[in-house]
Amino acid sequence: MTEPLVRPAFCIVLHDVAPSRWPLYRPLVEATDRLGLPLTLLVVPDFHRQGRIDRDPDFVRRMSARLARGDEIVLHGWFHDDPGPVSRRPDELFMRRIYTHEGEFLRLPGAEVRRRLAAGRKLFLRLGWPVHGFVPPAWLLGPAARRALASQPFTYTSNPAGLLLLPAFRQLAAPTLVWSATTWWRRFISLAWNTCRLDRHRHRAPLIRLGLHPVDIRHRMARTYWLRTISELLEERRPVTKNQWLKAGR
């Protein structure tokens, strides 16, 4: 019997997927595979300039196998870094060096944004990977990047609050849970924040996104939280990829 489309959903989103980071996800991927859950994989073509993914045949084979299982691959920046000079303006200093060092699409000019988006999409299609979504690193899009993205043939992008349908950036509510797990105090704050956020949205949001990063899997507190939350949501919601949810009409 087909489940009604009105049943709320959740998706597991793995950020920063690249050859150097994929092995860190192994324990979680093995657990979700045992449950038959689809994953949304945010793949970076040349993560931190360590080497393009198409020059790693083993990684390409693994990602193609994930697609065959029912996962979705999403373009996630190009380099996933922001090495350019930073002005002394407090707002720019905070966004580019305190909030994150990886806001690749925050300050890029439109022509360069279009070049990277087109190159990423072309690369994925050449590898046989259908691509519907683009998610900027750290969810940061500057004004020039926003205009450039609207001109490209992507279906959606996202921010912490939800998915945005392109080219009009129409927002669909889909709150995300995400950890900052690099230090012990960030992990404790993340545990409290995500617990409260899930309590707030679990009975109201049509889609809840679980936004995982490789560093999360290194730490027992974060790893345990994610596995427990996946188990709980599986009792209440249907597991989907982002594109599956959009295609199903939400």
Per-residue pLDDT of the chain (250 residues; tens, 9 = 90+): 344 446 899 999 999 999 999 999 999 999 999 999 999 999 999 999 999 999 999 999 999 999 999 999 999 999 986 656 555 665 554 455 445 556 688 888 899 999 999 999 999 999 999 999 999 998 989 899 999 999 999 999 999 999 999 999 999 999 999 999 889 999 999 999 999 999 999 999 999 999 999 999 999 999 999 999 999 999 999 999 999 999 987 6
Residue found under tokens 């009009």: 168
Decide: pTM greater than 0.75: yes
Q: What is the pLDDT of residues 71-99, one digit of tens each?
A: 999 999 999 866 565 556 655 544 554 45
Tell which residue, 9, 10, 14, has the closest CA to residue 212. 14
Instruction: Determine the angle formed by the axes of helices 110-126 and 143-150, rounding to 10 degrees.
Output: 50
Q: What is the pLDDT of residues 193-234, one digit of tens each?
A: 999 999 999 999 999 999 999 999 999 999 999 999 999 999
Question: Which homologous superfamily is 9-247 in?
Answer: Glycoside hydrolase/deacetylase (3.20.20.370)
Q: Where are the domains of the chain?
A: 9-247
